[in-house]
Amino acid sequence: MDGIFSKKVVIHYTAENVEQPIICQLVKEYDLVFNILKARIFPRREGVIVLELSGLKKNFDKGIRFLKEKGLKVEPLSKSVNQNIDKCVHCGACTAFCPTDALAFDMQTTKVVFDPEKCNGCELCVSACPVRAMEVNLF
């Protein structure tokens, strides 16, 4: 049996589809629950919304496919968190706050290593970094 699946995603709207009731259709057609984390959407302009979507995994996958078929760009929230290597002084402060071990201190190279695949987009590293080398690029 399929269990409840939850994932944070960033959805980029185009001017052509920003006024369509797309999120409503995720609820009605795919039985998904959503929580809006951040949004910037204007009439007749490009926009972006960050959602946490929850539901059965098969419905989640169908819902994401639906969004892409509608011309929306969909990506995991973790792809929006970046390590700015030019700013990073490799102090390791961020590693203490990362709940998913996406940030780790490599003892051999004495560098902080960021694995975006492990990142859940919680942004704790952003506030923990004293030089603001961890960045969130949503908008």
For Cα atoms 110, 112, 115, give the angle at the middle one, nearest 5 degrees.
Answer: 135
> Where are the domain boundaries for CATH 3.30.70.20 in the chain?
81-136
> Where are the domain boundaries for CATH 3.30.70.260 in the chain?
4-71
Contacts by 123-131, CB closer than 8 A, 24 or more apart: 123/81, 124/97, 124/98, 124/99, 125/81, 125/94, 125/97, 125/98, 126/81, 127/97, 128/93, 128/94, 128/96, 128/97, 129/93, 129/94, 130/91, 130/93, 131/87, 131/88, 131/89, 131/91
- Whether the per-residue pLDDT at 138 is higher than 80: the answer is no
pLDDT tens digits, 102-121 = 999 999 999 999 998 788 77
Band of pLDDT at residue 39, cut at 50, 70 and 90: confident
Query: Among the CATH numbers 1.20.120.160, 3.30.70.20, 3.40.50.970, 3.40.50.1980, which is that of 81-136?
Result: 3.30.70.20
Q: Within 10 A of 128 (CB to CB), how many other CB atoms are there?
A: 15
Average pLDDT of the chain? 87
Distance, CA of 53 to chain centre: 11
pLDDT tens digits, 41-96 = 887 788 888 888 999 999 999 999 999 999 888 988 766 788 999 999 999 999 99
Predicted local confidence at residue 13, as pLDDT: 84
CATH 3.30.70.260 matches 4-71 = yes
